[in-house]
Amino acid sequence: MDKHMNTKRIVVKIGSSLLTNNGRGLDRTAIYEWARQIAELQNSGHEVLLVSSGAVAEGVVRMNLPERPKKLEALQACASIGQMGLIETWWQALIQKGVQSSQVLLTHDDLSHRSRYLNISQTIAQLMEWRVVPVINENDTISYDEIKFGDNDSLGAMAAAMIHADLYIILTDQDGVFTDNPRTNPDAKLIEQERAMADYLFDVAGDGGKWGSGGMLTKIRAARLAAMSQCQTVIASGKVDDVIIRLAHGERIGTLLTTDSSDKLIAKKQWLAAHIRMAGTLIIDDGAKTAITTNHKSLLPIGVVEVQGDFDAGSVVEIVDTTKTRIAVGQVGFSSEDAKLIIQKNSAQIKAILPHIDEKSVMVHRDEMAIL
């Protein structure tokens, strides 16, 4: 990284294995040390947002369970128990350094629905304006699809995109991304810098450990998500002295995953394609199917035969053909209420129905769509 790079706004994500000392309960000594670094940056004019794993792992320890449960209800109960201690510890650690913090619990639904996404963005913006450090975690107690976002790595990347962060730091128990698994191959070499979109990174990433849900693979995916907002990602060891401060000041530690403007659109489409739950469905005719899949055009209202669901403009919806086969996903340009009024209508008709629409009437723009 460039020593003079502007890293005013930083997202820091700390994994379960670090926070819980590999499952032995919250490592308060380490948490207080990271809090000191975050407070130092915050007090010197940086804006820091923290994504903290560890709720489930702390719940496992508090309940004296031999390992992380597999049943969803047990995972959610562990999260509920562990969340208390996790947030209490972060608040105490930061307030000692004169920094206020807050708890923000999110689910995937919160970020896939446009109105909720904007509400959360505005809340976090207010917290940062007040010089508060938001401590974000997935609301594991009510996340019913599965306990992971996929994981807090992805949640951190979404947060980085939401606040237009300059740098996303993922702290782990590894020194960075290696050419092979360093635990089994002594010849594995650290990858110091690479484009986040480099495909081979998936080949060298491993699975999650015993106490967490994210391996190096989820961190690579997260770096790609962060690339949507042209935010660089660093994957580094949380055990390095002053690692957060040093990374914020541009020092080379761990693996830097870079991005540029050409990556932005690719990353956006990958993010759309990875969406777990859709806000609604657009059923399209064969002409529209050919237009978007073969001719790479935007989806126009005239090609939509039915709108299903209740959603806001900007929500992520699925696009299916008349046989209900999913063709694409994308961010819709209209609310479901407006969309239902203009299906199978041309631009002139749409203007008469929705006179407040100034721009060209596009249901889903091709740049906001991922063909599957």
Per-residue CA distances from 191 to 109, 114, 263 (Å): 34, 37, 20
Burial of 173 (0-12, 13-18, 19+ CB in 10 A): middle
Contact 276, 107 (CB under 8 A): no
Q: What are phi and psi of 167, to 5 degrees?
A: -150, 135
Location of structure tokens 């969309």: 339
What pLDDT, on a 0 to 100 scale, did the predictor assign at position 115? 75
Residue among 359, 278, 360, 274 at smallest CA distance from 319: 278
**C-alpha–C-alpha distance, residues 229 and 231, integer Å:** 5
DSSP state of 163: T
Residue among 57, 153, 47, 135 at smallest CA distance from 90: 135
**C-alpha–C-alpha distance, residues 337 and 343, integer Å:** 11
Per-residue CA distances from 366 to 159, 184, 268, 333, 369 (Å): 24, 44, 11, 11, 5
**C-alpha–C-alpha distance, residues 106 and 156, integer Å:** 11
Token pair of 50, please?
């923290």
**C-alpha–C-alpha distance, residues 21 and 43, integer Å:** 28
Q: Is 50 left (phi over 0), alpha (psi -120 to 50) or beta?
A: beta
Token pair of 188, please?
């594995």
Contact 95, 79 (CB under 8 A): no
Contact 94, 39 (CB under 8 A): yes
DSSP state of 97: T
Q: Is 149 left (phi over 0), alpha (psi -120 to 50) or beta?
A: alpha
Burial of 360 (0-12, 13-18, 19+ CB in 10 A): exposed
Token pair of 53, please?
């794993």
What pLDDT, on a 0 to 100 scale, did the predictor assign at position 89? 94
Class of 9-271 per CATH?
A: alpha beta
Token pair of 13, please?
């994500």
Per-residue pLDDT of the chain (372 residues; tens, 9 = 90+): 554 356 799 999 998 889 987 777 899 999 999 999 999 999 999 999 999 988 888 899 899 999 889 888 898 899 899 999 999 999 999 999 999 999 999 876 677 666 788 889 999 999 999 999 999 987 766 655 544 455 788 889 989 988 989 999 999 988 999 988 777 888 989 999 999 888 888 787 755 444 344 578 889 989 988 887 889 999 999 999 999 999 999 999 999 999 887 777 777 777 776 666 788 999 999 999 999 999 999 999 999 999 999 998 888 899 999 999 999 999 999 999 999 999 999 988 998 999 887 667 899 999 889 888
Location of structure tokens 């994504």: 51
The structure's pTM equals 0.78
Residue among 88, 73, 74, 75 at smallest CA distance from 26: 88
Token pair of 71, please?
């049943």
**C-alpha–C-alpha distance, residues 350 and 338, integer Å:** 10
Domain ranges of the chain: 9-271, 278-371
DSSP state of 29: H
What pLDDT, on a 0 to 100 scale, did the predictor assign at position 94? 98
Assigned CATH for 278-371: 2.30.130.10
